Amino acid sequence: MIDLLTVTIVLLGANSLLLPLLQLRRAGDKKLPGYVLAVVLGASMAMVGAFTADPVTVSWAGGLLSADRLGGIFALVTLGVTLMVTLASLDSQKGQSIPVFYSLLSFTALGMLLLSYSEDLLMLFVAWELMSLPTYVLAGFDKKLRSNEAAVKYAVIGAMSSAIILYAISLAYGLTGSTEIITVVQGFSSHPTALAGVATLLFVAGFGFKMSIVPFHMWIPDTYEGAPTTVSTLLAAATKKAGFIAAIRVLLAITTLYVVTQSPLFTMANVFAVLAVVTMTVGNVAALTQKSMTRLLAYSSIAQAGYILVGFVAFAANPTSVSATIGLTGAIFHIINHAILKGVAFLCAALVLLELKRTDLGAYDGLAKRMPITAFTLTVAFLGLAGVPPLNGFWSKLLLFLSVANGPYFWLALAGILNSAFSLGYYAWIIKRMYMDEPESAEKVREPFWFVVVFAVAVGLIIGIGLFPQQVISFASGAVPNVFG
């Protein structure tokens, strides 16, 4: 079964290198590179899924990668989002550099695949860069002033994030003599020195940039707004999830460590708790004041990262408890749900921008009359993000809040419930504008085929998982016992 993963890596790598050659063709179907990438991603998901359905947790590639269910879940999520972006781009991307665009998407998918399975810090860093570098180019792919500004800001802060992670890795190696994650974690836990605490905080900061947790979130709104909206979909729903898999494999293993000092106030659980409540609150409050849909979705994405951190708190507080299992299962489940919900919400915004040439909220007035499929899809996605039953977002939030409801972090569950109720306010406001306000024009707007296909699949998953959540919950909980090998 391991050979399936080898084939997947080789297939994505070869595809990434060969796609730009299609630019040499003088004529032909301009969508061919997109179709090729879509087929490759579909085949990759099939092979990863075949292994993930019945995995055997083993070290692989000389101990650099671990072929476990946790990696499989994140690989499926990130590859699935990349496939959504690829299909949507068939109708939205134009120009002579299309093969390069899809090649960069393929390289990003390969980086996220390797990152999902990484169990060595150096392998993790290489995969991190392979994922990140193409997205810097993709963020500025439109070659417009705002897109270029977004790409530069993203690249500068991304480089800072990578430097922080690399410095943390160097400290970890100096303290433990190894870059293997399990060995580093054991060394930190057995000798919780102040320097080990500094390295841990550096990992929190480095991964925090990609996870978009406060206070490492400032690049998110500008980059998501300036980048092509399909690329913003990739950043919000895929590369962000890669940041969480890195945090799970590295940070959640360091649960017994007092950060920097030996004071019980500076445990990993407390650090995660503060980050969680600040992140969800700042994200939701800022989203309420936005006039642009892409910025609103960006701040909403920040708030969702705060909810996921609640599961981290439950696990870090007592890793051997039932609450820890519920919390980490809820975090993994919400990551899956968020990828679907936020991914399709950004694609709805991308289609509105493509057809109406606007990102302001006024473009959504009466949208149900002009683009009924888009309006319905966005409504379902917003209700799922708010945690309205029986959609999928409700169940993952329920698990997250239950995991801390009966312990010393019960206030975190209360904060999460209040923030979810608050977020429903601005989600419902947009839904009201789409269905109750009058549009500026009554003219119908086309909804391209591939966008409709992606919308239909996403809505089916949102409702289907919501009605039958137990299968996905069991799938996610199966990854918890072997998180750390």
* Residue 154: predicted pLDDT: 87
* Residue 1: predicted pLDDT: 46
pLDDT tens for 446-474 read 888 889 999 999 999 999 999 999 988 98
The CA dihedral of 271, 274, 275, 276, to the nearest 10 degrees, is: 120
Q: How far apart are the first and last CA of the chain?
A: 18
* Residue 165: predicted pLDDT: 92
Residues 6+ apart with CB under 8 A from 5: 47, 48, 51, 60, 65, 67, 117
Q: What are the backbone angles phi and psi of residue 360, rounded to the nearest 5°?
A: -70, 160
* Residue 256: predicted pLDDT: 55
Each domain of the chain, given as residue ranges in start order, spans 268-485
CA–CA dist 375, 445 (Å, integer): 12
CA-based nearest residue to 220, from 141, 164, 139: 139
pLDDT tens for 50-63 read 877 766 555 566 67
CA–CA dist 328, 332 (Å, integer): 6
CA–CA dist 69, 480 (Å, integer): 9
* Residue 57: predicted pLDDT: 55
pLDDT tens digit at each of 485 positions of the chain? 457 788 888 999 999 999 888 877 665 667 888 899 999 999 999 988 887 776 655 556 667 787 788 888 889 999 999 999 999 988 877 766 788 889 999 999 999 999 988 888 999 999 999 999 999 988 888 776 567 787 888 888 889 989 999 999 999 999 888 888 888 888 887 777 788 888 888 888 888 888 888 888 888 888 888 888 888 888 888 888 888 888 888 877 776 555 555 666 777 888 889 999 999 999 999 998 888 898 999 999 999 999 999 999 998 888 778 888 899 999 999 999 999 999 999 999 999 988 888 888 888 888 888 899 999 999 999 999 998 888 998 999 999 999 998 888 999 999 999 999 999 989 999 999 999 888 887 788 888 888 999 999 999 999 999 999 998 898 888 877 655 54
CA–CA dist 94, 90 (Å, integer): 9
* Residue 79: predicted pLDDT: 94
The pTM (predicted TM-score) of the whole model is: 0.90
| CA distance readout (Å), 212 to 33, 239, 404 | 31, 11, 22
Listed as own residue / partner, the contacts of 61-66 with beta carbons closer than 8 Å and 24 or more positions apart are 61/123, 63/119, 63/120, 63/180, 64/118, 64/119, 64/120, 64/122, 64/123, 65/5, 65/114, 65/117, 65/118, 65/119, 65/120, 65/123, 66/117, 66/118, 66/119, 66/485
* Residue 55: predicted pLDDT: 60
* Residue 485: predicted pLDDT: 45
pLDDT tens for 176-227 read 888 888 888 888 877 777 888 888 888 888 888 888 888 888 888 888 888 8
CB 19 within 8 A of CB 99: yes
